[in-house]
Chain A
Amino acid sequence: MGSVQSFVTIFLGIFIEAAPFLLLGSLVSGLIEVFVDQERFGKLFPKNPFVASLIGTVMGLVFPVCECGVVPVTRRLFRKGLPLSAGIAFLLAAPIVNPIVLAGTWAAFGNSTVFWGRVVMALLVSGTIGLLFALAPKPEQLLLETDALPAAQPCSIETVTHQRQQGSSWRRLEQDIRRALVVAGEEFFEMGRYLVIGSLLAAAMQVAVPQAALLRIGRGPLTSVLAMLLLAFVLSVCSTVDAFLALAFVNSFTSGSILAFLVFGPMVDAKSMLMFAGVFRRRIVAYLVLLPLAMTLFLTVLFNFNLGG
């Protein structure tokens, strides 16, 4: 009975911590739906996938979202014509390369190799993977059917245009905001279900996986990285605070493994993996988990060997 209590408490802890961030992401998504013009937005991006994915990696500076908020925003931007390479790069980079998370990392680590390593590796991993996706023969087929997206129905658009024709601009703005709030509410349910399943999964793993054993794996340049990658996945801690958590491991773990925790954790964890399933086909979700895993592993182990543990 006691472990059921712990399971529920940990589940609620993860959900309650993530819910406000998902809510903010849903609100941004609702505002994008109503206020971003699809035709003009699509034209903002260059045709060159290399440049597009480069832009994607730094878009987080404009849309400051963590790993829960980024999924609904990316999904909505795809619908507004965001190129796939830019979207993938944004999805992976934004939870790290955004003002809030950068400030948190700076507060925890200061001007150090960990801070700069986190930024550089995040840009490298997300940019490369965005580019890889652009090479797919039919990029548009990687997304789930768009009819699964809220607010795409002609009827609702008619209603909006109908309302737009009548009344002053203030009235129009009010209508737009109401509409954005309704879309945000729908979005919260669309993504919230994955957040709930992901939080259940993370809580179950927390009750089942002995953490101390994981942490005892040791100081090896490879084993420490593997342990921290697994820990990042299991803990599913929000990227806005993970730097402070990582501080607790600084002295018992290699710098490379701390970087692995800080680079891989925000890109992929138990709950965000489930949320990817709401946007992409299953095979693509697997790539989105495995590619960052492989690249982070490679880069951080290399880091350990070259710059010392």
Chain B
Amino acid sequence: MEELVLRFLIGGAVISAFALLGDVLRPKSFAGLFGAAPSIALATVGMTIARHGKEYAATEARSMVLGAIAFCVYAYIVSQALVRYKRSTMTMTLGLMPVWLGVSLGLCWILLR
């Protein structure tokens, strides 16, 4: 339980910090880089290494490579969809989330099973 609380606090703080950077920086395309910052990894890798060791953390990082490819595909599709369709950003970003899940799990199934 203690670990989960710690994860929550560190995760919330690190992700908020990167989001704040994204808020204040201009131009918007540069600020967008911080929307894909390794915030969850930075918040958790230290704890993962302390609890499970470096080998376990390296295995997670290998899978993260696939998650990052999926993020790239997802964000690009969102950017194109926002220009082409008159839907709100909330609808587009959440509605297209299955793209991230599908690509990451698909790549994982193909490459790491």
Do A and B belong to a common assembly? no
